[in-house]
Structure 1
Amino acid sequence: MKDDELRADLVRRLTEAGRLRTAHWRAAAEAVPRHEFLRGGFFERVPGSSPTWWRPVLADDDTWLERCYRDESLVTQVAGTIVPSDVRGGICRAPTSSSTMPSLVLRMLEDLQVADGHRVLEIGTGTGYSTALLCHRLGDDRVTSVEVDPDVATRARVALGACGHAPELVVGDGLAGYAPSAPYDRTIATCGILEVPGDWIGQTRRGGRILATVSGWLYASELACFTVEEGIARGRFLGGRVSFMLARPHRPPPLGCLPDMSSADEGPTGLAPHAALDDWTSRFVAQLAAPRAQHITLTREDGSAEEVLLDVADGSWAALRQDKGRSLVRQGGPARLWDAVEEHVQRWRADGSPCLERFSITVGPGGQRTTWPTR
């Protein structure tokens, strides 16, 4: 199939599945060729690899064009600098940039609720595909997009130009927004964040909307939509378990050397580690209680698993294991991480375990606060 046929087929499939609901964005998806933003190729996961290995799929591959129009996220950079054309064979490094699956891109743009004449600030240009969709809907002069990686920004600029678009592209820290073109009617982020930056609130008009994925170092995340008031943004979560790579300044620090976890006494806990860390919503609640904690699984000498939470900044840690049906915990450092997690999760359960769509999130001078309805 030709690229225009593949594009039309993608739009048809998304529409029939209810993932593309509005005429304006349907027209944009029909007009913008996604493959132009993937000319440099992408990485595919090597099946069965653990840890994950990636191998390149370049534009001369027989499957490249068809795969550009699947409803899939495609990794376009690993290790901060490496692109598909740099690799022969495979590579085992963490993804650092990607082209998000079209259904999610379009869902977010629909949730943003733009109108004719609106000015939009996009945080994270990436390949430029979502930027092009915004340009088609609003006009190039209404779109400002910020990308932290100069090489990624250059490739996006070339691809956008090939599609006839020339929005305002800025290379810089997206967490600072872009004040020279403010105020904006809408702000949208295509990266995960720990907290909504004050600059985004200050640069978005009163009554405007901010759409961003709020995450943490336990990697439970959710798409949130905020309405801006005077110096404050109030919002709610939209559901759907949306996940993005964290903004580079918000990524967790290296774990480094682990503390001596044999130095603390072990005791029972009323919250099994899998109950808090395996379930998406429970993990999100646990993350609220221990926002700077990271989670790793260690293998003990007897072959059993031990779940560890570690706050690198202050040295607090908790190590949990199962023994004959009991949940046991050891804790060390200045804060008792698991006590905080257990209290938070048990209180959420006592309130009926409300889903994330019922949570409220407020950001202002006092910081970011997330709450759920109580009984």
Structure 2
Amino acid sequence: MTARQAAEAGRDRLASALIANGSLQPDWFAAYHAVPRHLFVPDTVWPGMADGVRQGHAVSRSQDAAAWWRAVYSDVPLTTQWDDGAHLGNSRGTAPSSSSSMPTMVFSMLAALDVADGHRVLEIGTGTGWNAALLSHRLGSANVTTVEVDGSTATDAQRRLARSGYAPVTVVGDGAAGHPPTAPFDRVIATCSVRDVPRAWIEQCRPGAMIVAPWGPEYGGEAVVKLTTQPDGSAHGGFARSSAFMRLRAQRVARPNSLAYLSAPWPADGVRSATTLSPDELGGWAAMFAIGVRVPGVFPLTERYPDGTYTLWLHDTAVTSWATADWEPGRAEFEVVQSGPRRLWDEVEAGWRWWDARGRPGVERFALTVAPDGAHAVRLKR
């Protein structure tokens, strides 16, 4: 099979899958076929694994073209950079820092953006340039501004865009600042997640504009929110679906490890207790999202052991409090240790029970309001 045949077969196969799952809508058919993904994928990528948050081994077009084509036209994210470019070679780095997003997510978010002819769009996170090219085909390059924080990533994307015949306004800079020279915008789409929706995005939008962005609380879990901007400078909207994106670089935080919380050898000044709530119940995406909404300033870490057991650590961002819960198979009670002014296990358990008592609602049952002063409030819709 020639490269052209592989591309056409892969595109058709992926299109069928995206149409079947509802992500590729008719108004994006033309852009999908005019802007093939393979033109925006580098020679070496790390395809995503089935759980959506891990990467497989590197696939190189020059070394295994058939595997590369399969990866490009599979409905998986493709990591394209590790450790902000500091990691080189074909091994996996420490943290993925750029990717070509999962096609289902790409077209689901573009459908949620609900663009119309003449709309001006700000994209946060150029990445490989594929999303910017799709928008440019649909709206015209002059109506698209795309911002990328990584200089080398932006240069590569601009080269691919030009080679494909598109010339959106490309900016190297902090996406949290938006891009005032091409504002006001009718739509903003982010291909990175945020904990706080930047005020600049709202301020650079017309009233009634829409912002589509992955949003996640401190604890974990994440979902795509669709916000409509209001004349008073606020924005409000619901969540469309769960997601798993890399964090906006300006909102990354360094997490201290568990040793930073201990004032003395284990268990330090921790107070022991027991719970009937299994730590396993806290690991689902919807559960983590709900706990994060209810319990601010707390994040989990998991310490796994060779025998299959593990300890769930809870830390507060102020580095004042910690808690642990030990999981072992077959147990009805689990040991808990807590220390500090906040009783983190008690808070997290209360958050989980709040979610459980309401029928374990999915992310689509929640809504986010960003006030004019930037305060964020997430509530459960009726």
What's the TM-score once normalised by structure 1's chain length? 0.89
C-alpha contact (below 8 Å) 1:56/1:87 kept by paired residues: no
Secondary structure at the aligned position of 1:234 is classed as strand
Alpha-carbon distance in structure 2 between the residues aligned to 1:233 and 1:31:
34
Does 2:324 correspond to 1:319?
Answer: yes
Counterpart residue number, 2:40? 37
Partners of 1:268 and 1:91 in 2: CA distance: 39
One of 344, 347, 352 as aligned partner of 1:340? 347
| CA deviation after TM superposition for structure 1 residue 178, in Å | 1.2
Distance 1:60 1:159, change over 3 A: farther
Aligned to 2:361: 354
Quote the Cα distance in structure 1 between the aligned partners of 2:39 and 2:63.
14
Per-residue deviation, residues 18-65 of structure 1 (Å, max 9, x unmatched)? 33122x311000000211111332124799xxx977434234532223
Work out the CA distance in 2 between the residues paired with 1:70 and 1:26.
17
Q: Secondary structure at the match of 1:294?
A: strand
1:251-266 superposed matches below 5 A: 251-256=252-257, 257-260=259-262, 261-262=266-267, 263-266=269-272
Q: Distance in 2 between matches of 1:304 and 1:13?
A: 38
RMSD (Å) for aligned C-alpha atoms: 2.5
Change in Cα spacing, 1:46 to 1:210, as seen in structure 2 (3 Å) is closer
Aligned counterpart, 1:237 = 239
CA contact (8 A) 1:46 1:55 kept: no
Deviation at 1:254, TM superposition (A): 3.2
Structure 2 contact 47–55 (Cα < 8 Å) conserved: no
Deviations for 1:216-274, whole angstroms, at most 9, x for unmatched residues?
Answer: 344311111111102111010112x2111111222231324332251211123353322
Q: How does 1:51-200 map to 2 (within 5 A)?
A: 54-59=57-62, 61-63=64-66, 64-82=68-86, 86-88=88-90, 90-200=91-201
Check whether the contact 2:11–2:36 (CA below 8 A) recurs between aligned residues: yes
1:348 partner SS: helix
Q: CA deviation at 1:349?
A: 2.6
- Return closer, same or farther for 1:215/1:307 CA change in 2, 3 Å cut-off: same
Does 2:274 correspond to 1:271? no
Does the C-alpha gap of structure 1 residues 249 and 316 become closer, same or farther in structure 2, counting only changes over 3 Å? farther
The number of residues matched between the two structures is 365
Shift of the 146–366 alpha-carbon distance from structure 1 to 2, 3 Å rule, reads closer
- Return closer, same or farther for 1:46/1:372 CA change in 2, 3 Å cut-off: closer
Which consecutive segments of 4 or more residues in structure 1 shift more than 4 A? Answer: 44-47, 299-304
Cα distance in 1 for partners of 2:254, 2:317 equals: 7
Contact 1:54 1:92 in 2 (8 A): no
| Contact kept in structure 1, 2:83 and 2:93, CA below 8 Å | no
Deviation sequence 1:82-130 (CA, Å, 0-9, x none): 57xx415x23422111101222111110110000000000000000000
Q: Structure 2: how far apart are the matches of 1:150 and 1:91?
A: 21
Please state how far the C-alpha of 1:168 moved relative to its aligned partner: 0.3
After superposition, the Cα gap between the structure-2 partners of 1:66 and 1:347, relative to the gap in structure 1 and judged at 3 Å, is: closer
**Preserved contact between residue 310 and residue 317 of structure 1 (Cα < 8 Å):** yes
CA contact (8 A) 2:286 2:361 kept: no
Whether 2:297 is the aligned partner of 1:289: answer: no
The gaps in structure 2 that reach 5 residues or longer are: none
